[in-house]
Amino acid sequence: MGTLEGKVALVSGSGRGIGQEIALKLAREGAKVVVNDLDAGPAEDTVAMIRQAGGQAQACAGSVTETGFAERFVGTAIDTFGGLDIIVNNAGYTWDNVIQKMTDEQWDEILAVHLSAPFRILRAASGFIREAAKAEAADGREVFRKVVNISSTSGVMGNAGQANYAAAKAGINGLTRALAKEWGRYKVNVNSVAFGLIKTRLTEAAADGDATLDIQGRQIKVGVNPQVLKNAESLIPIGRAGTPAEAAGAVYLFCLPESNYVSGQVLVVGGGRP
């Protein structure tokens, strides 16, 4: 049996990259996973991978910022698998610019996906969590649930050109600490994982600067100048960027029963660089 046998997990943004690795890791350890991606295809791909490995999963495609998505996401877990034990708020992307060139749209959209969407998902889950915790307490059982919010070193230390992203990720750390205090009585551990440089399609080397990502009709530039990427890696004590699998491992730590007395924390995952 896996360490998460019988648990039900929500993982937003899990059709690709770090989110996919998180979903696969939790599923390998026995969790039933609701997979989300902006596009149905990648979400179904991750579900297929989990099922082929003998796990259980269900897709819930759509933008985390859509009206009503949070309720649909939470409802999928409860209706399909009969409960909810783990919430990983991972979905997001970057849309960088220096502040004098940053538009209201850039600011609003990044805060919406990285801060408002997790808030709404957690709010949507609150009714089930409260009632489940009360019933378990009445039965004399102590059942822990887990929330892992994905942050960034940009939200801890700041980063030039990312006023929107840094503010949103700092905000998710504040939300984490507040909810750890609110939900402690329900036996919910709420923590953040702040990633440093992780190799994904958003951070891969892009020499020409023309690599883009389609986000609901917007062409968002992605990738990092190879020399900038090389310089960034040289500052990491371990000597390289992290992998999505390593990032997923850090999230998994907060989902384990061994972390039941750890809450309200921000874990920096940066290869030794703060």
> How remote is the C-alpha of 244 from its chain's centroid?
12
Active-site annotation holds for 93:
no
Q: Which residue of the set 165, 186, 252, 261 is catalytic?
A: 165
88 touches 7 (CB < 8 A): no
Average pLDDT of the chain? 94
Highest mean pLDDT (candidates 110-119, 195-204, 218-227)? 110-119
pLDDT at 9 over 90: yes
The phi-psi region of residue 102 (left if phi > 0; otherwise alpha if psi is between -120 and 50; otherwise beta) is beta
Dihedral angle sign, alpha carbons of residues 57, 132, 187, 92: positive
Tens digit of each residue's pLDDT (9 = 90 or more) over 185-217: 999 999 999 999 999 877 765 655 566 677 777
Rounded Cα distance between 22 and 228, Å, is: 27
Residue 206: closest CA among 230, 231, 221, 225 = 225
Quote the pLDDT of residue 163: 98
pLDDT (0 to 100) of residue 228: 77
Q: Is the dihedral of CA 262, 266, 272, 274 positive or negative?
A: negative
pLDDT category of residue 140 using cuts at 50, 70 and 90: very high
Tell whether the model's pLDDT for residue 135 goes beyond 90.
Answer: yes
pLDDT of residue 1: 77
**How far, CA to CA in Å, does 228 sit from each of 40, 117, 206, 234?**
34, 31, 10, 10
User: Which domains occur in the chain, in start order?
Assistant: 8-197+243-268 (3.40.50.720), 199-241 (no CATH)
pLDDT value at 246 more than 90: yes
Mean pLDDT of 76-92: 98
Helix and strand element counts for the chain (H, E)? 9, 9
* pLDDT tens column, 158-178: 999 999 999 999 999 999 999
Q: Residue 20: which residues within 8 A CB-CB, separation 6 or more?
A: 14, 42, 46, 49, 244
Average pLDDT over residues 226-251: 91
